[in-house]
Chains A and B, each alone.
Chain A
Amino acid sequence: MTEAAPTVHNPLAQFEVKKIFTLPDVFGYDISFTNASLLMSLSVIAVALFMGLGMRRRELVPGRFQSMVEMTYNFVADMLTETAGADSMRYFPIIFSLFIFILFCNLFGMIPYSYTVTSHIIVTFAFAAFAFIGVTCIGFYKHGLHFLHFFLPSGLPGGIGGLLLAVFMVVIEFFSYLARPVSLSIRLAANMMAGHTLLKIMASFVGVGLIGIFPFAFILIFTGFEIFVACLQAYIFALLCSVYLNDALHMH
């Protein structure tokens, strides 16, 4: 991605994928262990520890750690049942996994000198494509070919004008349906990338003397805002996935 000469102050250098140790190619694919793989593995381990250790005691009156885990669970469960109805709790595991994995990847990216996995469109597109294909399969499984009715909004007028309008609406609805994984993935990746790039650009203004205290204060405030954005983007990803799930389960 970085075409320009790599300098110390290149704000995009933090998104570079570096090999930690090289592995032999498999079927022509480079499967070396990179910093992206390291951060993803760390996120998975952190999620497993968070959930596993938190629920180890299973007390009736939860302690501090256990109530953190239970609040996370309840937060996603409430969000899912509010947007997609009670019968969508069957699909709770995938929504919860997406939410907590993206949340931990975003938050690990906030550690200085670390690497943000979710700032790469290919990573977020993989999440979004899984959600999109899964939701489409659920729609066809539940409604059969009747799911195609989803592309034709109800309440169109009759007659030849209505028919023309219907053709027009089907095309629009079809392409807006296809744009869902693209918009899901670009939203997450661009948000994470823009915030981190802004922090890096402001950081290069700090070393200009006494006046550098202002960009430093800005960075302090903006880091807090970035942590908020990291949580918000994970929430929005899970929220939009459950909205799409609602569309597939209950149509219009």
Chain B
Amino acid sequence: MDAEAVKLLGKYLGAGLTTFGMLGAAIGVGLIFAAALNGIARNPATEGKLKGFALMGMAIAEIMGLLAFVIAILILYVVK
């Protein structure tokens, strides 16, 4: 393999490997909604309040997974 092919291989492998970043975000979002559902099941009166907190927590957990997507875009299109 010439140097150009090795570079491309590394680029695509690296971009593919960034998908593992989504694993953590998926676990985090799942835990947040599981905890929110538990809370609502125990005390249904708190549903309105918990919904806002759950969505906010989801937004904060999700951004960590989306940063992996940004890294993938950087590897694919910015790194020469």
Contacts and interface: CB of A to CB of B under 8 A. Distances in A.
A190 B70 contact: yes
A1 B55 CA distance: 32
Interface residues of A, number: 17
A103 to B, nearest CB: 15
Interface in B50-80: 52, 55-56, 59-60, 62-63, 66-67, 69-70, 77
Do most interface residues of chain A lie in helix, strand or loop, or is the interface mixed? helix
B55 A187 contact: no
B55 A236 contact: yes
A83 B56 CA distance: 11
A210 to B, nearest CB: 30
Contacts of A82: 52
Nearest to A239: B56
A133 interface: no
B59 A186 contact: no
Interface of A: 1, 3, 79, 82-83, 183, 186-187, 190-191, 194, 232, 235-236, 239-240, 243
Interface of B: 52, 55-56, 59-60, 62-63, 66-67, 69-70, 77
22 contacts: A1-B77, A79-B52, A82-B52, A83-B52, A183-B60, A186-B63, A186-B67, A186-B70, A187-B59, A187-B63, A187-B66, A190-B66, A190-B69, A194-B66, A232-B55, A235-B55, A236-B56, A239-B56, A239-B59, A240-B56, A240-B59, A243-B56
